[in-house]
Amino acid sequence: MSILSQNLKQECQFKQLIVADFARLNHFLKQHKQSKAGRNEQAFILESQQRIVASARLIPLEASNQFWLRGVFVIEALRRQGLGKKLLEDMANKLDPKTKIYTFPLSHLDRFYSDLGYQNCDLAELPEELKLRYESAQQQNKRWLKMVLDV
């Protein structure tokens, strides 16, 4: 990792957003052609010089302390500098230790998520509401993995 990358990671501030901040987040997401955050989601960002540079969202599932991780996004020019890793590590550290996070990353991101402690899981291990989403994605030929993290 370059000195520039280390400095950028160190200067970035992690924040968990409140609903009042979602308009700012959704403006950022719209600029980068990402889907907007819903009011029921938990949203997390990294900021550099008061500008959002990365975001991630957790959608609560029916079972308590279970979430679906969606919308992990780092500005393209700042990728491969450890910001996504920092964001997801800081997010996991904010959560209750009994939390389970499910995610459906694209297949080329297997190592990225594995290095963060996510493990591949079977369809049978997914909560019912995620099974349906995953199966629908498979019918559309999306190349998603099924992964889970026990925080």
Range of the domain at 83: 3-150
Per-residue pLDDT at 14 exceeds 50: yes
Per-residue pLDDT at 5 exceeds 70: no
CB 81 within 8 A of CB 5: yes
The pLDDT value given to residue 63: 86
Per-residue pLDDT at 4 exceeds 50: no
Residue 34 structure tokens = 């990402």
C-alpha distance from residue 23 to each of 20, 43, 97 (Å): 7, 12, 29
CB 73 within 8 A of CB 32: yes
The pLDDT value given to residue 28: 97
Computed over every residue of the chain, the mean pLDDT equals 93
What is the band of 151 on the pLDDT scale with cuts at 50, 70, 90?
Answer: very high
Rounded mean pLDDT, 65-78: 95
Find the CATH number of the domain harbouring 77. Answer: 3.40.630.30
Contacts of 106 (CB under 8 A, 6+ apart): 143, 144, 145
Q: pLDDT tens for residues 120-150?
A: 999 999 999 999 999 999 999 998 999 999 9
> What b/e readout covers 51-61, taking b as 16+ CB neighbours within 10 angstroms?
ebbbbbbbbeb
The pLDDT value given to residue 144: 94
- For residue 44, count CB atoms less than 10 angstroms from its CB and return exposed for 0-12, middle for 13-18, buried for 19 or more: buried
Q: pLDDT tens for residues 87-123?
A: 999 999 999 999 999 999 999 999 999 999 999 999 9
Rounded mean pLDDT, 17-46: 95
Q: pLDDT tens for residues 48-58?
A: 989 999 999 99
Eight-class DSSP state of 141: T
Number of domains in the chain: 1
Helix extents (H) in 3-151: 3-11, 22-31, 83-94, 110-115, 128-139
